[in-house]
Structure 1
Amino acid sequence: MSEPPHWFTAALAAPVEQGITEFDGATIAYRAWGSPGGQGIVLAHGGAAHSRWWDHIAPLLVEGRRRVVALDFSGHGDSAHRDTYSLDTWAGEILAVSEAAGIATPPVVIGHSMGGFVTLRAATLYGSRLTGAVVIDSPVQDITPEEAAAREERAFGPLRVYDSIEQALSHFHPVPDQSALDYIAAHVAATSICRVAGGWSWKFDPRVFGRGPLTPSLLTRLECRVALFRGEHGILSQQMSQVMYDRLGRAAPVIEIPDAGHHVMLDQPLALVTALRTLLSDWDHSQPTTDPH
């Protein structure tokens, strides 16, 4: 494995708070950077992932009085499991965590893959309570690649128990598979497992893939700002980006991260941070516009 660069080790060393809140009968875990109050960001992970996929991204988004929070959706990470899961429930968890973590004003929600679906659902349900919604490589015409793999029984079936940490880590790979910076992949893998009876296993609940997909028919003009990000080599095609752009009232910028796969935080993290910082800076100093037609 290559030596991690300074920006990465500094990000992991940044002060972080761990907290829990409750929503609809389940405890929801989160991690928070920056001071409470003022503006805030909530980071929403993809299916079978967890808040620590953002460990090297979140500290780089803390600027001024901005509070950055990454949650574990129920059924993921260190949050409780449920009997059933839905986009509506996960959307409610975003608002609950934002309040519990001390974000004083309507947050910007940034969601990747499945988390992008949840972000759009939160914007539909609670648009007036959000400043903006950023969706990263989430093709809402289709189910997520994680859910497709689960339905086709290629991944995310009954959780396997491994005899050792090393054995578990050797089986980690993103879905869909892609290149990743090895030091980031190692960190994400190491934070994806937990001790269970008989050994080590993954933290997510396989039942999270039992929900229904979010389709473009649910896309409409929203009460908050929206931006669409896509990896150049990700799963959100230019054609699907155009469909989403049209359905969102032709007012959501579409931003491509060069040479990035679906999991942008694994292979092009600094390009992602730069794009997010630029977008947030613009939103801080401009007024929303709508399609004049």
Structure 2
Amino acid sequence: MFTQEVPTWFTTALEAIPEHHTIVVDGVVIAYQAWGSTDGDPVVLVHGGAAHAGWWDHIAPNLTARHRIIALHLSGHGESGHRHTYSLSQWASEVMAVAASESSTPPILLGHSLGGLIALTAAADAAHAIRGTLAIDSSITPQSEERWSHLPRINRREATIYPDRATILGRYRTLPEDDATLSYIRDYVAAGSIVQVEGGWRWRFDPAIFETAPWWNPDDLLSIQGDVALLLGRRGAGDSDIADWVQARFGDRIPVSVVEDSGHHVMLDQPLALTEELQKLVARWSEPEPAE
């Protein structure tokens, strides 16, 4: 299956089989998986667009020391149901519903790309209590809207059907591609990105997710009460000046860190570095509030 020698840390992580659950959110079945003790504080991992919860399978088991780690399939993705329309606010509702189904404790949200925008959307909603929010290589500057201008040209309501498994897997690509991507992780997430249907195989996401450009208003960062941080791949997020923009706009309130030798898909390019960053951040955000 894999096209590159697979290290022990990766196979060990995959041996930690998660629990699988479903809930219904606004009439649609949302599937999610969870690792660690149910007594642990909740951490919700939110995947990117056209991805699925399995993108976190090699990361999540290494975050369970004191936490309940939860990775959901957003509606229109993976094992979850589809909707007629999609929006950041709807996806944010799914994230918070899954967190609430697991614990009454305010969660930590860690989201990649589109998932980061969803996590920030949830955190900006005053109705939600959230311990901390991390957006991983999410485009948030005012220029980000331009990145989605191509989407109307790829809108499709009907998924392409491929004749066999080998053909569809041969078409799998990350956008954008990067030379640092580890092929054994790419192969793993690719295998979870397809489903057999009548007449062949298709991608496991609803093409309609692209019908609305998921642009997030960066000024909404000002309304977030909890901790917020950004993590970028060195060659990631289409806005190359994002760190400078955040520093100029928000100062030290929103820390920005960078994973070296990584493109946009940090968990595929530098998974160990990403895991280390997440471990430190989750530990810091989980510390008890100082007594007054």
Report the TM-score, using the length of structure 1 for normalisation: 0.90
Residue 3 of structure 1: how far off its partner (Å): 2.1
Match of 1:202 in 2: 203
Letter in 2 for 1:277: Q
| 1:123 matched to 2:141 | no
Query: 2:56 & 2:266 partners in 1: Cα distance?
Result: 11
Match of 1:107 in 2: 107
Match of 2:176 in 1: 176
- Go from structure 1 to structure 2 and tell me whether the alpha carbon gap of 1:283 and 1:219 turns closer, same or farther (over 3 Å shift): closer
- Go from structure 1 to structure 2 and tell me whether the alpha carbon gap of 1:53 and 1:143 turns closer, same or farther (over 3 Å shift): farther
Letter in 2 for 1:52: G
Residue 248 of structure 1: how far off its partner (Å): 4.7
Identity level (%): 41
Residue 151 of structure 1: how far off its partner (Å): 3.3
Query: 2:276 & 2:199 partners in 1: Cα distance?
Result: 43
Query: 1:215 & 1:276 partners in 2: Cα distance?
Result: 25
- Go from structure 1 to structure 2 and tell me whether the alpha carbon gap of 1:98 and 1:128 turns closer, same or farther (over 3 Å shift): closer
1:201-280 residue pairs with structure 2 within 5 A?
201-212=202-213, 213-235=215-237, 237=239, 239-248=241-250, 250-280=252-282
For the 8 Å contact 1:163–1:199, the answer to whether it is kept is yes
For the 8 Å contact 2:133–2:228, the answer to whether it is kept is yes
Residue 150 of structure 1: how far off its partner (Å): 3.6
Query: 1:4 & 1:59 partners in 2: Cα distance?
Result: 17
Residue 245 of structure 1: how far off its partner (Å): 4.4
Match of 1:81 in 2: 82
Secondary structure of the structure 2 residue equivalent to 1:111:
strand
For the 8 Å contact 1:21–1:29, the answer to whether it is kept is yes
Letter in 2 for 1:196: V
Deviation sequence 1:128-172 (CA, Å, 0-9, x none)? 511000000111231496x5554343x978422111111110000
Query: 1:144 & 1:87 partners in 2: Cα distance?
Result: 17
Secondary structure of the structure 1 residue equivalent to 2:111:
strand
Q: Which runs of 5+ in 2 are unaligned?
A: none
For the 8 Å contact 1:38–1:104, the answer to whether it is kept is no
Secondary structure of the structure 2 residue equivalent to 1:37:
coil
Q: Which runs of 5+ in 1 are unaligned?
A: 289-293
Aligned residues: 284
Query: 1:166 & 1:60 partners in 2: Cα distance?
Result: 31
Deviation sequence 1:187-226 (CA, Å, 0-9, x none)? 0000000011100000101111122421323331411100
Residue 61 of structure 1: how far off its partner (Å): 1.0
- Go from structure 1 to structure 2 and tell me whether the alpha carbon gap of 1:148 and 1:198 turns closer, same or farther (over 3 Å shift): farther
For the 8 Å contact 2:156–2:208, the answer to whether it is kept is no
Query: 2:250 & 2:72 partners in 1: Cα distance?
Result: 26
Residue 178 of structure 1: how far off its partner (Å): 1.9
Residue 276 of structure 1: how far off its partner (Å): 1.0
Secondary structure of the structure 1 residue equivalent to 2:61:
helix
For the 8 Å contact 1:38–1:105, the answer to whether it is kept is no
- Go from structure 1 to structure 2 and tell me whether the alpha carbon gap of 1:214 and 1:30 turns closer, same or farther (over 3 Å shift): same
Letter in 1 for 2:279: R
- Go from structure 1 to structure 2 and tell me whether the alpha carbon gap of 1:121 and 1:83 turns closer, same or farther (over 3 Å shift): same
Letter in 2 for 1:203: R
Letter in 1 for 2:125: L
Letter in 2 for 1:111: G
Query: 1:7 & 1:242 partners in 2: Cα distance?
Result: 35
Residue 86 of structure 1: how far off its partner (Å): 0.7
Report the TM-score, using the length of structure 2 for normalisation: 0.90
Letter in 1 for 2:131: T
Query: 2:217 & 2:6 partners in 1: Cα distance?
Result: 39
Secondary structure of the structure 1 residue equivalent to 2:81:
coil
Match of 2:140 in 1: 140
Secondary structure of the structure 1 residue equivalent to 2:261:
coil
